[in-house]
Each structure stands twice: as structure tokens, then as C-alpha cells.
């Protein structure tokens, strides 16, 4: 059987989008939200299939997309996350705010992959050729360890999403109950429009704030998101938290996570990681922070005492040390890459 293609209707246009089509799509979504993608093209007066419209929107027209050159930081993040997660572009994209998975995927395939190959690093295993050659003599431990850790990270991400979904149900119920009780005291600040994965809506409709918002975009309550966890944000350092928001709402923001909300939370995890690496401390040595942080890759403690701080015994020390060395080697190779290091990163 199989599903019939969505674009097989005669007369539907394919290929590059014209500025006129972009304008129609933008105008329609600004006015109505996307609603059902399938019915959108007809309503918007476009000779396209819904899927094509959705892709054009999510990969190009969405206002929360950052376009243009990737920064050094972004490149490093992609390389490191790819070593960890493989070709899971959407997962990688959650750590790169405002970049789409498609853009990251393209950038990897056209730039980073080739660059690693040029440097003698296998873009699949992220191991240097020399290391590959000597792996038969027992140095494959790093790869095995990394693989093991990657499995844990994958499991963690999945569990996180599952828990988030479950807690959302609970908290939505909680919120609805509260909302029914306190309709007159509805929170003013949060743009709590729609956070399902299916419907994009325009926040603050009618109040002059026309900022568009996609299911995976950051929302305006984002920084409050981290407050209850004790995670500092830039603005939280600079201003007092506005405690007018109901704590229930904040709690909801943190825990109500559909898959799209997970990405939202993860987007901030990126900042969180940065905070940890900047030495805010106290959050515990998360796996991700251990692997991704510059502080790990670039300024590893050389003394065993420092390295083993918080690590219980010799085998655990080796475990961490192995991975630090692994990332160190990647970053050192990248840093000391011959000839065009200036353009490299």
C-alpha cells in the first residue's frame, strides 16, 4: 500500500520558492497562524502542498531563525555534539538556538565533515587516523567509553521527553483548575499561547507585539524557566526576578513539555551548560557539561587532584580522564589545524 505523496496532485508547484510565494505564506501565517498545514496552501492562495509550506516556514521564513555564518562556538558545538549524538540533527539543533536542523545538517556535510577529514579525523567516529590504527592495541577504550556515554545520553534525552510529556498532562490539569478559580487574575506577562507541536499561533495577538513564534522557538517566559532551578540567566543576574508571575505558571513552564517544549527547555540547557562552564558551579557534573564545555576541552586541570575532584576512585578518575583526553585531542586538532587555522574557525 503505502501513503500517496502529498504533492502528487496535478498543478502543485515544486522547486524554489519565489518572493511572492514567501510573502503570501508569511502574510497568511501572520494573520491566521498556520493551523492545518494541509489546508493552508489553498487558504493562502498557494499552489504548493502543505508539507512544502511547512518546510519553507520552518527552515527559512520563521522569524526566529538566525541565518548566516556559523560562529566558532557553534561549529565547536556541532562537532562535539555530533561526536556524541551522531546524525541526530534535530537533537543537535536544540543546543544551537535559532539554527535549524536542516541548516546544521547542510553545514556539517558541506564544511565540517570535510574539514575533519582533511585533518585526518574520521567524521563518523571522530577519531584521528593514528588513533584508529592503534585501536587494536587497546586504545579503543575511548571510543567504547564514548559510545557507552552516548547511549546514556540518548536514553537520558528520551526519558526527559517522556517525563516531560507526562508531567505536562498533570500540570495542564493543575493549571486549568487554577485558571478556573482565578480567571480574573490571569497572568499578564507570559505569552502562553499554544505550545502544542501542531499549531503555531501568534502570541499577544492584538496588543501590538507581532513577534511570531514557532513551536520550537524560544518564548518570552524563557528566562523565568530557569529560575526555579537556580540556574542563573544573563538577565536574572541583572535584574530582580519579577515575582508577579504566579509560581504555578512558572512551574508549568518548566515542567509542561511536549516534544516541542523539550526543545525549548533544551535551548536553555545550552545556556545552562555555558553557565556551568563559566564556573557557576553547584549544578553538578552533568554528562553534557562534562563533554561539551570549553572548560573541559580547553583548560583541563593538569593535576590529578583537580581532575579527580568529586570523583570517587581510581577507575572513575580514568573514566573521566579518558574522555577529557578524547575531547582535548579533538579540540587541539581543530585549534592547531595547519595552514588555514584563521579561516577554520
Partner DNA sequence: AAATATCGCAACCGCTTTGGT
Partner DNA sequence: AACCAAAGCGGTTGCGATATT
Please name the residues in contact with 240: beta carbons below 8 A apart, sequence gap of 6 or more.
none
Binding of DNA by 113 (CB under 7 A): no
Q: Which is nearer to DNA, 161 or 296 (CB)?
A: 161
Nearest to residue 15, comparing CAs of 57, 49, 58, 43? 49
Please give the grid coordinates belonging to residue 301: 586541570
Q: Which is nearer to DNA, 142 or 258 (CB)?
A: 258
Q: Which is nearer to DNA, 260 or 277 (CB)?
A: 260
Q: Whole-angstrom Cα distance, residue 231 to residue 25?
A: 38
Q: How far is the CB of 167 from DNA (least distance, A)?
A: 13
What is the number of other CB atoms lying within 10 angstroms of the CB of residue 28? Answer: 19
Please name the residues in contact with 64: beta carbons below 8 A apart, sequence gap of 6 or more.
98, 212, 213, 214, 217, 218
Q: Which is nearer to DNA, 169 or 278 (CB)?
A: 169
Binding of DNA by 103 (CB under 7 A): yes
Binding of DNA by 17 (CB under 7 A): yes
Binding of DNA by 106 (CB under 7 A): yes
∠54-58-59 over CA atoms, to 5°?
115
Q: Are 159 and 152 in contact (CB under 8 A)?
A: no
Binding of DNA by 2 (CB under 7 A): yes
Please name the residues in contact with 223: beta carbons below 8 A apart, sequence gap of 6 or more.
233, 234, 235, 236
Considering only 96-104, 139-147, 148-156, 303-311, which stretch makes contact with DNA by CB under 7 A? 96-104
Q: Which is nearer to DNA, 216 or 329 (CB)?
A: 216
Contact positions with DNA (CB under 7 A) in 145-164: 161
Q: How many residues bind DNA (CB under 7 A)?
A: 51
What is the number of other CB atoms lying within 10 angstroms of the CB of residue 72? Answer: 10
Binding of DNA by 304 (CB under 7 A): no
Q: How far is the CB of 274 from DNA (least distance, A)?
A: 23
Q: How far is the CB of 82 from DNA (least distance, A)?
A: 10
- State the burial class of residue 93 (Cβ atoms within 10 Å of its Cβ: 0-12, 13-18, 19+): buried
Contact positions with DNA (CB under 7 A) in 28-87: 34, 36-39, 48, 50-52, 54-56, 58-60, 67, 87
Task: Give the interface with DNA as residue ranges (CB under 7 A).
Answer: 2-3, 5, 7, 13-17, 34, 36-39, 48, 50-52, 54-56, 58-60, 67, 87-91, 101-103, 105-107, 109-111, 114, 161, 165, 196-199, 215-216, 258-260
Amino acid at each position: 500500500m503505502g501513503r500517496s505523496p502529498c504533492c502528487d496532485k496535478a498543478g502543485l508547484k515544486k522547486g524554489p520558492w519565489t518572493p511572492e510565494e514567501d510573502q503570501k505564506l508569511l502574510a497568511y501565517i501572520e494573520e491566521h497562524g498556520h493551523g492545518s498545514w494541509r489546508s493552508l496552501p489553498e487558504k493562502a492562495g498557494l499552489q504548493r502542498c502543505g508539507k512544502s509550506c511547512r518546510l519553507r516556514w520552518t527552515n527559512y521564513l520563521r522569524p526566529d531563525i538566525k541565518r548566516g555564518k556559523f560562529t566558532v562556538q557553534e561549529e565547536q558545538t556541532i562537532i562535539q555534539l555530533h561526536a556524541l549524538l551522531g546524525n541526530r540533527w534535530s537533537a543537535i539543533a536544540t543546543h544551537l538556538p535559532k539554527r535549524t536542523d536542516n541548516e546544521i545538517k547542510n553545514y556539517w556535510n558541506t564544511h565540517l565533515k570535510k574539514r575533519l577529514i582533511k585533518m585526518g579525523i574520521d567524521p563518523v567516529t571522530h577519531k584521528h587516523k593514528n588513533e584508529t590504527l592503534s585501536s587494536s592495541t587497546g586504545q579503543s577504550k575511548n571510543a567504547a567509553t564514548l559510545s557507552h556515554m552516548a547511549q546514556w545520553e540518548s536514553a537520558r534525552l528520551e526519558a526527559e521527553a517522556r517525563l516531560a510529556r507526562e508531567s505536562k498532562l498533570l500540570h495542564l490539569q493543575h493549571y486549568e483548575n487554577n485558571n478556573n478559580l482565578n480567571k480574573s487574575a490571569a497572568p499578564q506577562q507570559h505569552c502562553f499561547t499554544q505550545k502544542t507541536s501542531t499549531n503555531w499561533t501568534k502570541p499577544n495577538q492584538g496588543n501590538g507585539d507581532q513577534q511570531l513564534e514557532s513551536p520550537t522557538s524560544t518564548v518570552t517566559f524563557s528566562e523565568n524557566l530557569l529560575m526555579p532551578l537556580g540556574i542563573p540567566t544573563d538577565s536574572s543576574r541583572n535584574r530582580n526576578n519579577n515575582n508577579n508571575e504566579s509560581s504555578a505558571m512558572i512551574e508549568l513552564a518548566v515542567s509542561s513539555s511536549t516534544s516541542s517544549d523539550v526543545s525549548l527547555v533544551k535551548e536553555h540547557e545550552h545556556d545552562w551548560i555555558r553557565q556551568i562552564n563559566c564556573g557557576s558551579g553547584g549544578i553538578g557534573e552533568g554528562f553534557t557539561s562534562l563533554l561539551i564545555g570549553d572548560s573541559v576541552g580547553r583548560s583541563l586541570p593538569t593535576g590529578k587532584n583537580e581532575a579527580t575532584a568529586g570523583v570517587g576512585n581510581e577507575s572513575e578518575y580514568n573514566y573521566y580522564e579518558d574522555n577529557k583526553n578524547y575531547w582535548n585531542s579533538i579540540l587541539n586538532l581543530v585549534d592547531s589545524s595547519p595552514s588555514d587555522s584563521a579561516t577554520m574557525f
